[in-house]
Amino acid sequence: MMLKIGRWFGWAYTGYTFLFILAPIAASLVFSFNADRFPSLPLKGFTTDWYGGTFTDPLVIEAFQRSVMVSVPVALLSTILGFCAAYCDFRFDFRGKSLFSLLMLLPPTIPAVIMGLGMLSYLSRIGLAGEVWAVLISHVVIALPFAMAMIRLRLAQMDSALEEASWNLRASPAQTLWHVVLPFCKQSLVAAFLITAAVSFDEFAVAWFVSGLNETVPVRVLVFLQGQVSPVINAIGTAVFTSSILLVAIGMAFSGMGKAKRAAADTPAQPVGGALVTNNGLSL
Amino acid sequence: MSNTSRRRWPLLLPPLLWQLTFFLLPLLFLFVISFWSVVNFRLEPDMTLKNWDFMLSRSSFWSAYGHTWSLALGAAVVTTCCSFPAACSLAFTVSERTRKLALMFLVVPFFTSYLVRVYSWQAFLADNGIVNALLAVVGIDGLPMLNSDFGSLVGYVTLALPLVTLVQTMGLAQIDRNLIEAAHNLRAGPVRTLFEVIIPLAKPSLVVGALFAFILAFGDFVAPTYLGGGAPPTLSNLIIDTTKSGQQWPRAAVVAIVMILTLVLTSIAAVRLAYGRRK
């Protein structure tokens, strides 16, 4: 009896926890359609004006284009570099390997303000601060660890006999990498690409420091936030949220389609979920 | 031997060089410029201690330090305590399937901008905001929540709660159920089981979760600025003000280095606590 009550209490509490986590997201969705420009409770009626206003604002459009321009190369570079790092960690033993992995994985634990200041002073010294390049470079540093972690998780599932068989069949290491390892990691590569794109699309602090006048979407949101009350923030937030969720859903569907049902049953989108775990915490 | 070493360089070098050049060097450079000076709003190479002296001799710096430390510690404690019942519930009382679904939901916040969530909290916490409107229904007068340490804490918990719950749930789910049942069979009550079996076994995940919360809160500038009101400032506020308004990068670098040192020492202490001296 006691246990049952405890159990129900636990579920109710968990429900409240989720409410706390999801409330601001839900509220931002609701207020993005609210006619009142101040977000307060009696809702004033339905409007799509904020969306209209947002997507005709040249500053927002420009920021959006810039964010896409940055996040796609960031995702590509971090996925490639992340794969290299993950494979080295998986395959080779060498002196200083734990130091290497630490260096690869550390960036998300450094507070963004400090990363921002370090990047700003360093990149301005080599003449890159205030350029889109600066945002791209810093975002690869921050996103690479996520790609590495996700791909490393997938590599851990690989039977090492697979590579040995390929070497025995006289494939060179490079051929083995290309024809055996990469196809095995395909799903996690796609997932890493999408997640690192999302990391870059969402990162505002370092970008704010180094971007100069080249605002990305979240930097624009920060500028709105510094100004007065602005329902535009809700509209942008909801739009970005919807598209990120769509992207991830596409990514998951893609990884499910990838290798018929056998592979899908093997790893039911596990790399995605697993890596998000790391991801969620350390970005920001 | 030399064969594998030859094979690994093409894979090892690109990520290594990238992180050395664009991660380690910028951080080391911070250390270097903390000894430089600013002349006519321009950074000049120098070898002076005056930035260190300027920052460390001010009481305002130390009060910001204390404020940041206590806020981050508060965030770690509050987040750990808030998420623990939920993590227990998810780890012990629901099916594998439900747990996976719940963990998926914990990942959702990652896809929303933290800035947008903080802006949304402003609507909840404002004097005429949602929470006060709901409180008014049950006859409680308006409580000031925005622009206070409470506001900052709400922001920190928003930032850290999903991750901490994930870490705790995964830690708790790995506990051998037989041990809990053994405690039960030996007539330990639920409270005693909790404190003498479950919590000691889950200690690493509890401490690591709390450490994550501490690190996230210690470095965050959004919650203390837009929910905490920005006064008194935290160290990250200090870095931003010093960098953005005064061009005083060397002084900001001093603050950054003090922050990094604090985080490193805290992490070492936490890891000791989590993994050391287990009976």
Our measurement of the distance from residue A66's CA atom to the centroid of its chain's CA atoms, rounded to an integer in Å, reads: 17
Range with lowest mean pLDDT among A208-222, B58-72, B114-128, B265-279: B265-279
Report pLDDT for A273.
Answer: 38
Q: Is the pLDDT of residue B109 over 60?
A: yes
Closest to A88 (Cβ–Cβ): which among B8, B20, B161? B8
Count of CB pairs separated by less than 8 Å, A with B:
259
Report pLDDT for A251.
Answer: 65
Return the domain boundaries, chain B: 55-275
Amino acid identity, position A265: A
**Tens digits of residue pLDDT in A225-279:** 888 667 788 888 888 888 877 877 776 666 555 444 444 444 444 444 333 333 3
Quick one: pLDDT band at residue A2, thresholds 50, 70, 90?
A: low
Over residues B264-273, mean pLDDT: 91
Q: Is the pLDDT of residue B277 over 70?
A: no
What's the length of chain A?
A: 284
Q: Write phi, then psi, for A214 (nearest 5 degrees).
A: -85, 75
- Complex ipTM value: 0.89
A58-282: CATH topology is: MetI-like fold (1.10.3720)
Q: What value does the mean pLDDT of chain B take?
A: 87
Report pLDDT for A179.
Answer: 87
**Which chain B residues are closer than 8 Å to A108 by Cβ?**
none
**Tens digits of residue pLDDT in B145-203:** 788 889 999 999 999 999 999 999 989 988 888 888 888 888 888 888 888 888 888 88
Report pLDDT for A163.
Answer: 85
Minimal C-alpha gap between B203 and chain A (Å): 19
**What token pair was written down for B205?**
């995940």
Over residues B121-136, mean pLDDT: 83
Give the position of tokens 């039960």: B184
Range with lowest mean pLDDT among A184-193, A202-211, B126-135, B226-235: B126-135
Q: Is the pLDDT of residue B137 over 70?
A: yes
Report pLDDT for A138.
Answer: 94
Our measurement of the distance from residue A265's CA atom to the centroid of its chain's CA atoms, rounded to an integer in Å, reads: 25
Helix axis angle for A2-31 and B96-107, nearest 10°, is 30
Quick one: pLDDT band at residue B66, thresholds 50, 70, 90?
A: very high
**What token pair was written down for A203?**
């990162």
Distance separating alpha carbons of residues A278 and A245, to the nearest angstrom: 18
Report pLDDT for A144.
Answer: 94
Strands (E), B99-227: none
**What token pair was written down for B40?**
């006519």
Report pLDDT for A276.
Answer: 38
Report pLDDT for B4.
Answer: 65
Give the position of tokens 């979240």: A218
**What token pair was written down for B198?**
């479950």
Q: Which B-chain residues 97-116 have CB contacts (< 8 A) with chain A?
A: 100, 102-116
| Cβ atoms of B168 and B213 closer than 8 Å | no
Distance separating alpha carbons of residues A48 and A59, to the nearest angstrom: 19
Return the DSSP state at B138: T
Range with lowest mean pLDDT among A81-90, B98-107, B210-219: B98-107
Residues paired with B43 in a beta bridge: B38
| Cβ atoms of A187 and A255 closer than 8 Å | yes
- Spatial CB neighbours of A77, under 8 Å, sequence gap ≥ 6: A136, A140
Q: CA neighbours within 13 Å on the CB side: how many for A53? A: 14
Distance separating alpha carbons of residues A71 and A196, to the nearest angstrom: 8
| Cβ atoms of A176 and A127 closer than 8 Å | no
Report pLDDT for A10.
Answer: 84
Q: Is the pLDDT of residue A143 over 90?
A: yes
Percent of chain B with pLDDT over 90: 38
| Cβ atoms of B156 and B71 closer than 8 Å | yes
Of B44, B40, B264, the closest CA to residue A121 belongs to B44
- Spatial CB neighbours of A276, under 8 Å, sequence gap ≥ 6: A195, B107, B110
**Which chain A residues are closer than 8 Å to B89 by Cβ?**
7, 10-11, 13-14
Query: Over the Cα atoms of chain A, what is R_g?
Result: 22
Q: Write phi, then psi, for B37 (nearest 5 degrees).
A: -125, 165
With CA atoms as reference, the chain B residue closest to A79 would be B15
Residues A22, B256: C-beta atoms closer than 8 Å: no
Q: How big is the CA angle at A227 (ends A224 and A229), to the nearest 5 degrees?
A: 85
Q: Write phi, then psi, for B44 (nearest 5 degrees).
A: -120, 130
Minimal C-alpha gap between A32 and chain B (Å): 10
Cα–Cα separations (whole angstroms), residue B254 to A10, B28, B142, B262:
46, 12, 41, 12
Our measurement of the distance from residue A261's CA atom to the centroid of its chain's CA atoms, rounded to an integer in Å, reads: 27
| Cβ atoms of B132 and B187 closer than 8 Å | no
Distance separating alpha carbons of residues B17 and B14, to the nearest angstrom: 5
Return the domain boundaries, chain A: 58-282
With CA atoms as reference, the chain A residue closest to B82 would be A17
Report pLDDT for A258.
Answer: 46
Q: What value does the mean pLDDT of chain A take?
A: 81
Return the DSSP state at A178: I
Quick one: pLDDT band at residue B107, thresholds 50, 70, 90?
A: confident
CATH architecture of B55-275: Orthogonal Bundle (1.10)
If 0-12 CB within 10 Å is exposed, 13-18 middle and 19+ buried, where does residue A144 land? Answer: buried
Report pLDDT for B20.
Answer: 93
Report pLDDT for B239.
Answer: 92
**Which chain B residues are closer than 8 Å to A245 by Cβ?**
108, 111
Distance separating alpha carbons of residues B256 and B68, to the nearest angstrom: 13
Range with lowest mean pLDDT among A142-146, A230-234, B256-260: A230-234
